[in-house]
Amino acid sequence: MIEVKNVWKYFNGNVVLQDINATFEKGKINMVIGKSGSGKTVLLKCMVGLYTPEQGNIFYDGRDFTNANRKTKKQIRQEIGMVFQGGALFDSLTVLENVMFPLEMFTELNYEQRRHIAIKSLNRVNLYNVEDKYPAELSGGMRKRVAIARAIVNKPKYLFFDEPNSGLDPITARVIDNLIIEIAKEYQTTTIINTHDIQSVISMAEKVVFIHNGQKWWEGDKDKMLKSENAELLDFIKASGYIR
């Protein structure tokens, strides 16, 4: 379980996250939804340690990540895999080098071992013989797969996805969703996905956290979400074209 407790984040004096409290359930697919600009990416970046909150704490299965010493922080970082909004591969590195990157950072494995594991990870997301290509030579859907292969190469306990299927056609978007479900179940990860795609929420979410103007506005399971009377949540769901 990941717990976010009383998290505040400011940029240039503007409050972007306001006293967020939320829990992300162990071994489940937790989805963070909310309008563009509501604070989903900032929350995710606070959770994985890319941003430091002005106040508050993040706990990973009871371990205080925010106030952890260097050793514990590194340990928790190693247990995290992340797919950034837009994929965020290193353009100047090949596919193989991209996927091997976390292994270089966090393990003592030699090149052959790293290469072997990275190729296995690429095969897991159904990519074959693309090791020597550069990201620019791949389609958007393939780039997402490479980003997923990189995120799972370390066998993470916690997997974060920021808008994993944005910019993809509806069919490829569903293929990526299904791949994420398969991997999350296979690796038994605690999974956190930012999205504004209500279709993904309907098909994947086990727990939903709704962010509205930088505040945790609602949280609960998907069935409760679909029955909720929370006005802003209802507006969000209806605006996505979903009719209950």
CB of 38 to ligand ATP, least distance (A): 4
CB of 148 to ligand ATP, least distance (A): 19
Tokens 């995120």 locate to 151
Name the residue nearer to Mg ion (CB basis): 30 or 41: 41
Q: Is 41 in the site for Mg ion (CB under 5 A)?
A: yes
Give the range of 30-38, 58-66, 104-112, 148-156 binding ligand ATP by CB under 6 A: 30-38
Name the residue nearer to Mg ion (CB basis): 41 or 191: 41
Q: Is 215 in the site for Mg ion (CB under 5 A)?
A: no
**Best CA proximity match to 149, nearest among 189, 99, 208:** 99
List the x/- string, 42-61, binding to ligand ATP by CB under 6 A: x-------------------
List the x/- string, 74-103, binding to ligand ATP by CB under 6 A: -----------x------------------
Give the range of 36-44, 109-117, 122-130, 152-160 binding ligand ATP by CB under 6 A: 36-44
Sheet containing 29-33, strands listed edge to edge, beginning at the edge strand earlier in sequence: 80-83, 158-162, 190-195, 29-33, 207-212, 215-220
Amino acid at 134: Y
The answer for residues whose C-beta is within 8 angstroms of residue 66's C-beta and 6 or more apart is 52, 53, 56, 57, 58
The CA distance from 56 to 69, in Å, is 16
CB of 16 to ligand ATP, least distance (A): 4
Q: What are the CA-CA distances from residue 25 to residues 116, 187, 206 (Å)?
A: 32, 15, 9
Q: Could you give the count of Cα atoms lying within 13 Å of 17 in the half-sphere of its Cβ?
A: 28
Residue numbers of the site for ligand ATP (CB under 6 A)? 11, 16, 34, 36-42, 85, 196
